[in-house]
Chains A and B, each alone.
Chain A
Amino acid sequence: MSLQIISIILGSLTLASALLVVFSKHPVRSVIYLVVTFFFITSMYIMMNAQFLAIVNMIVYAGAIMVLFLFVLMLLNLNKEAEPVTTKGSQLAAFIAGGSLFLVLITALKDTLTLGQTYRAHNDQIGLVKQLGNLLFTKYLVAFEITSILFIAAMVGAILLAKREKQIIE
């Protein structure tokens, strides 16, 4: 019972911080609220005893990607005057795009109740690093290797793009 209360509290906090990301006026504050949201998601993984996923979520999203976001935003020096002017058309387009994404998410998530059943059918050790490693390197080996090749391709592409301009510092 107490577990349920904790997860309800965590869920509402996650939603609240996610909403703050959208509604806060200043981009830097938005990013900071996003970091907070990632921390709440991490805590949810911990509630499911998925320690490895939790910590990877923390290192990759809260640690690396958000630091890069913040880094770029700090360099841009955004303020009220620099805010781009939006026309009625672009607002409508954004509304339609966001709405369709929301619709897709709802249709995808309506099966989560049954998914919860399958999760409970597994043992609660499934999220620990040993079980995860075993699964990744036996049952899902091909998918795992293909993902890593995709990542390497993306990295090589990024380096190529960055290399095209001549280095100034030598």
Chain B
Amino acid sequence: MDTALLIEKSILVIVLFLISLGAAAYMTYFERKLAAWIQDRVGPDRAGPFGILQPIADGVKMFLKEDFIPAKADKWLFIIGPGLAMFTALITSAVVPWGPNLHLFGREISLQVADINIGILYVFGVLSVGVYGIMIGGWASNNKYSLYGAIRASSQMISYELAMGVSAITIVLLSGSLSLNDIIAQQSQVWNVFYQPVAFLIFFICALAELNRAPFDLPECESELVGGYHTEYSSMKLGLYLFSEYTSMFISSAIMAILFFGGYNFPGMSHFSGNTLALLGIGAFAIKIFIFIFVIMWIRWTIPRFRFDQLMHLGWKTLLPLALVNLLISGLVIAYNNGWF
């Protein structure tokens, strides 16, 4: 193994870890400020100028709270639950290409931890395992409301994964590859969202459901289930659950930007090269991620929550058939363009 490569990848992993955590922390601040702005309030403004130290204060508070484990809870699973949730939220970032290659110290450094040729499937694999954190935590709490939250989370996850997968397959059909790098390269001229607006819409709605974000936040619906799957959690265990939600929001915004909005591609890209191109690419990617995060938060403070049966009907009877028809039509068009008939 090349030592320089090992060092380079380790640094990249650590930087990505810190960025994901930092982004998640400041997303909580951003969410509260945005909510305040939408509801015509001031929002957090005590810690530091404009309250920008609020996430740090929150973190310290979380750590200093009493860590409580219910007497009848399954102790080990209760502890494993939040850890699993955070773990699965973080490992998706391994396959995300964050920008064009950098040139430093005479080496070409790829800004992607692992370039595997099934990148998009890896994302889906991690996503499908991601529900275990919530399920295990909710069940181990030995509480009715937690169990309801866990069951809702898992059934919601299974239902929306299908439509999401089918709309991602349309993108794979367009690019002819499962690698995220190839999908981005194929969008250097026209972004996929202009070819596949329906697939994007389906993917976006499903992503909201997979993230347990409003209007699909049934698993932690506070007006029915107290706190949902994390009712019994306190201290940093609760913090990890909340944190993992924001981390996965960050990562799935990145995935949506890659699949439909060209990743780090930006208009007028051919005028730049080398490190300038890399830095501008990273900047463009960050802006796209930020816009997605903003839209997701905006939706939370605008649209009321679904009822659970409405959620199931939307998933199975509207989104899945729509995604399948969309897949069929795009397949036919691609076959026609390749001159198959």
Contact = CB atoms under 8 A, between A and B. Distances in A.
Interface of A: 28-29, 32, 35, 51-52, 55-56, 58-59, 62-64, 67-68, 70-71, 74-75, 128-129, 169
- Where chain B touches its partner, the secondary structure class is helix
Contact of B124 (A59, A68, A75): A59
B178 to A, nearest CB: 6
B121 A56 contact: yes
Contacts of B161: 63-64
A51 B158 contact: no
A34 B124 CA distance: 20
Interface in B1-48: none
Nearest to A38: B129
Nearest to A70: B135
B125 A63 contact: yes
B169 interface: no
Interface stretch (B97-105, B147-155, B196-204): B147-155
B122 interface: yes
Contacts, number: 63
Contacts of A59: 121, 124-125, 128
A68 B178 contact: no
B321 to A, nearest CB: 13
Interface of B: 74, 77, 116-118, 121-122, 124-125, 127-129, 131-132, 135-136, 139, 147, 150-151, 154-155, 157-158, 161, 178, 309
**Secondary structure type dominating chain A contacts:** helix
B124 A169 contact: no
6 closest cross-chain pairs (CB), A and B: A63-B128, A58-B125, A55-B121, A169-B309, A59-B125, A55-B125
Contacts of B125: 55, 58-59, 62-63
B118 A67 contact: no
Given A63-B129, A169-B309, A52 B151 contact: no
Given A67-B154, A68-B158, A52 B121 contact: yes
A68 B157 CA distance: 11
A75 B154 CA distance: 12
A120 B124 CA distance: 30
Nearest to B312: A169
B117 A67 contact: no
